Structure 1
Amino acid sequence: MASSTTPRPVLKQPVKLACVQLASGSDKTANLEHAADKVREAATTGAKIVVLPECFNSPYGCEHFPSYAETLLPSPPTPSQSPSFHALSAMARDNKVYLIGGSIPEQVNTTTAAADGDDKKTSYYNTSLIFSPTGALLATHRKVHLFDISIPGKITFRESDVLSPGNKLTLVDLPEYGSVAVAICYDVRFPELATIAARKGCFALVYPGAFNLTTGPLHWRLLGQARAVDNQLYVALCSPARDMSAGYHAWGHSLVVDPMAQVMVEAGEREEVVVAELDGDRIEEARKGIPLRDQRRFDVYPDVSQGNVNFEEP
């Protein structure tokens, strides 16, 4: 039974999106300054949506999350609580772009009353901040699915040893263009988030991520194409540049995929800004030619975008 829901317009006008593939070292201040330079470079291409990589302000690794973590709540934080928040806001404002600020480690301190005194707890999240061209915070996404894997002889990694998971899908309204969904790295492996975002009218799925030299060649491009072909929209994956002297070796290869799952642009391993122009006509052509949105059989399986879904309507 086909859905009777009339789809709302997705991408109102063409827009350039840039993925900034950059390397980060141990000096947070230097990382922020370098990111600002590269966002400025991306803006000179005409890009109005700019994406940074996962953990762009610090080295990636469980041992690094606590020492680089910043306090974001209550918002806005002070510059001393979160220099990255204020740096990202300035990058967006100075370049008049929508900035999907990769991700940074976030620290949350809570105190609850207990019988033997107050119970204090510190939690950490992998968090993306999204800013408007005026520098205003539009949305926050905490990584929902934590990167816990073990491939014998290849790689073992457990984010959950340090991080806590987020609990919502993040949809962001960009008034001139439409809405995008933002998730982080390992979230791309879970198609439910992408399906919900597509059915809520997003024109793009944006994933700052840091796949490695084992999972990258296996699945990075494949997953970007899979999410695109499943949902007939644009997908952007933004990686750190590869640094073989670092403790974690990122795959690189930031890319943008179109609604027919064709790779439009792809970086190499080193620092690079890749830019693609997104056009709503390509979304409509894909959906008219292969009308998945009208052929879904909700009499056979449920619509995952309905029911108890935790997200913020853009």
Structure 2
Amino acid sequence: MFTNVTTSFWQGIRKTNPFLLSKSFSYRMNHFNASLVPKDFRPFRIGLIQLASTSNKDENLKNARSQISEAVQNGSKMVVLPECFNSPYGNQYFNEYAETIEKTSPTYNTLHSIAKELKVYVFGGSIPERKDGELYNTSMVFNPYGDLIGIHRKIHLFDVDFPGKMTFRESETLKSGNSMTIVETEFGKIGLGICYDIRFPELATVAARNGCSMMIYPGAFNLTTGPLHWELLARARAVDNQIYVASCSPARDVSATYHAWGHSTVVGPDGVVLSTMDEKPGIVYADIDPEKMASIRKSISLYTQRRFDIYSETKPLKLNEN
């Protein structure tokens, strides 16, 4: 099953904290492993598929199948595809390549069959989705039985302006999603965002406070934002919440109209990069370990030191205009 969290950020923060320990020091010391790590978190290997997408959707889907198969052969139980993996990225392409989310759609059918055939969790990057006359940037998640267990529509649209470098406004074409997404897997709960969503720390914080051991972000940062913030943001989301973070990018194609940064990356709960690569096509592997999370959360006890008595309710500051 999957959960779309539509409550406000602070409503989510105030939900029951699955990691909150007794105030008793002895209880914390004797039970930190069980309390600081989500009880359903199990070790697994993840594979991030850094694809080079082309203008040929059929070729993109065929390439995704081949690369996922390789990742599974190398032990991956969960695989992640990049943002807009089945099409070129850009406002001029979204409408042309958009699909509805239904079993007869090419990308749905491909990801469903791959997951079922290879017995693997597939986080399907994102695709341009057509729904109720609107276009969305949408991720689908399938379990090893081929069941659709998650749908995430990009919440924060990429509207930026770097004078003299680049201007891009996804909102000219796309509509934003209006809910968070948490999926339940046999390895634990996973939170999901798409690209620009990673810049908003509330998503990862709410996910972590609701039992997620990892955030996954398919993303296509460019040659301006990539060198500045791609790794920095993944590490920040990880260390803020002492969770794993996986960011999967398309490979860079200098002949395309949009040049992705690449450098797909997995970060551990201590903020240290576990695995990464360059801008070329390939697969990034990482072994996800609950014991590492337990050790980090014991060493730096954020989950016993949160001061919700102070910031359980956070409101915008009233500015002094004098």
Q: Would the TM-score normalized by the shorter structure come out above 0.5?
A: yes
Which residue does the alignment assign to 1:167? 178
Which residue does the alignment assign to 2:277? 267
Q: Percent identity?
A: 53
Structure 2: gaps spanning 5 or more residues: 1-16, 22-34, 315-322
1:211 aligns with 2:221: yes
Which residue does the alignment assign to 1:84? 107
Deviations 1:115-151 (A, max 9, x none): xxxxxxx200000000000110001000000000001
Checking the alignment, whether the CA contact within 8 Å between 2:41 and 2:213 is kept in structure 1 is no
Which residue does the alignment assign to 1:104? 127
TM-align CA RMSD: 1.4
1:302 aligns with 2:312: yes
Q: Secondary structure at the match of 1:299?
A: helix
Checking the alignment, whether the CA contact within 8 Å between 2:128 and 2:137 is kept in structure 1 is yes
Which residue does the alignment assign to 2:267? 257
* In 1, Cα distance between equivalents of 2:277 and 2:113: 26
* In 1, Cα distance between equivalents of 2:279 and 2:36: 38
The structure 2 residue matched to 1:127, chosen from 138, 143, 151, is 138
1:100 Cα deviation after fit? 0.2
Structure 1: gaps spanning 5 or more residues: 110-121, 305-314
TM-score w.r.t. the length of structure 2 is 0.86
1:228 aligns with 2:238: yes
Which residue does the alignment assign to 1:137? 148
Which residue does the alignment assign to 2:197? 187
* In 2, Cα distance between equivalents of 1:259 and 1:9: 11
Residue correspondence of structure 1 range 15-164 to structure 2 within 5 A: 15-72=44-101, 77-79=102-104, 82-109=105-132, 122-164=133-175
1:302 Cα deviation after fit? 2.2
1:277 Cα deviation after fit? 0.2
Which residue does the alignment assign to 2:287? 277
Checking the alignment, whether the CA contact within 8 Å between 2:37 and 2:294 is kept in structure 1 is no
The structure 2 residue matched to 1:5, chosen from 20, 25, 37, is 20
1:78 Cα deviation after fit? 4.2
Q: Secondary structure at the match of 2:245?
A: strand
Give the letter aligned to residue 259 of structure 2. H
* In 2, Cα distance between equivalents of 1:236 and 1:189: 14
1:93 Cα deviation after fit? 1.0
TM-score w.r.t. the length of structure 1 is 0.88
Figure out how many residues of one structure are paired with residues of the other and give that number: 283
Q: Which has the higher helix share?
A: 2
* In 1, Cα distance between equivalents of 2:52 and 2:157: 22
Deviations 1:166-188 (A, max 9, x none): 011100000x2110001100000
Give the letter aligned to residue 95 of structure 1. L
* In 2, Cα distance between equivalents of 1:78 and 1:229: 38
Checking the alignment, whether the CA contact within 8 Å between 1:8 and 1:201 is kept in structure 2 is no
Q: Secondary structure at the match of 2:310?
A: coil
